[in-house]
Each structure stands twice: as C-alpha cells, then as structure tokens.
Amino acid sequence: MKKVIIIVVGLIVLLGAAGGGLFFMGMLDEPLGLNKQVVKDGAEGDASGEGSAAEQVAEALFVQFEPISAPVIAKGRVEYLVLLTLSLQVADIGAKNDVNAVLPRLRDAMHTELFTMPILRDEETGAIDLTDLKKRVLTLTRNMVQSDGIEDVLILKIMRMGG
C-alpha cells in the first residue's frame, strides 16, 4: 500500500511539473485562450503577431539577418574581424516576403561585398564608418530585391573579434 501511495504522489508531481513547464513555455496559451487581446473595434485578435495583412502593416516590419562576419582592413592587411548583426526595415508584408525569398542569395552578396571592399575606418580614431557601411548594404539590398519597400538598414550589434 505504501508503494502505491508513493507512485501516485510521484505521478501527480510529475504531471504538475510537466503542466507547469508547458504553461511557462507558452505551449498552453492557445488551448487556454491566453494569447487573445482586444483590438480597437472590440473584437478579439491574436497576440502572436499572426493577423491580417492590414493589421501587420500598421506595425514596423523588420527582416532580421543572421550575424555576418566582415574584415576590417588597414595598411593592406586584415587588422581584425567584426561580427555584424543587421536588420532591414521594410515598408509592408510584400517587401518582407520579397526579401525573405532571396535571403540566402542576399546574405552571400553581402559577404562578397564586405570581403572584396573593406569596411572603412578612421586611421586616427579607429572608428568604423557606419554611414558608409549602411549605405553599401542598403544599395546592395535594393539592387538585389528590386523593391521600393526597403526603407532602412539597422546595425543592431557590432562585435570585434581578434586583433
């Protein structure tokens, strides 16, 4: 009898822990109706970001790139590498879909651009010319995607590696 009680209590604890884990990971939000929010007109909407195209256009849309490495060259040699985290701001869902459709080719083109033409930096201060970098990436992206919906390039993070 003692073993049965221990097994039953163990199962209750195990199921409680599993349920709590699913709850905190957000996997029970939809079945429990927790991710609904009230939209302006009083109807319920989905808080997961999956709504109609008109609802999503009202928000700023971004396409996040995986980190891209690039060399910083000075005096004819590579001084160090930087790891760039970039994001594109796009005008609408159509432009976002256009960018996502060519994302692997765009990433390859960015690597080619950044490895063939070095990132400019000031010789005195060592500061990277972010304006030039953003302009080059924006021009490359607009030429490849051929869409007027590419609004801006955001440099989210630059991490120096080595040197």
Predicted TM-score (pTM) of the model is 0.59
The CATH number assigned to the domain holding 82 equals 3.30.479
DSSP codes of every residue in 59-117: S-EEEEPPPEEEEEEETTEEEEEEEEEEEEEESSHHHHHHHHHTHHHHHHHHHHHHHHS
Residues 111 and 41 in one domain: no
Tens digits of per-residue pLDDT, 39-49? 444 444 444 44
Per-residue pLDDT at 38 exceeds 60: no
Residues 82 and 150 in one domain: yes
Residues 17 and 76 in one domain: no
50 exposure class (CB count in 10 Å sphere: 0-12, 13-18, 19+) = exposed
Residues 74 and 116 in one domain: yes
Residues 6 and 44 in one domain: yes
- What is residue 135's predicted lDDT score, i.e. its pLDDT? 92
Overall domain count for the chain? 2
Residues 29 and 95 in one domain: no
Other CB atoms within 10 A of residue 75 CB: 6
Confidence of residue 116 (pLDDT cuts 50, 70, 90): confident
Residues 41 and 74 in one domain: no
Tens digits of per-residue pLDDT, 48-72? 445 555 554 456 789 898 999 888 8
Residues 77 and 156 in one domain: yes
Residues 45 and 81 in one domain: no
Domain boundary among 34, 51, 68: 51
3-state secondary structure at position 156: strand
- Domain hosting 14: range is 2-51
Residues 9 and 69 in one domain: no
74 exposure class (CB count in 10 Å sphere: 0-12, 13-18, 19+) = middle
- What is residue 154's predicted lDDT score, i.e. its pLDDT? 92
Residues 40 and 73 in one domain: no
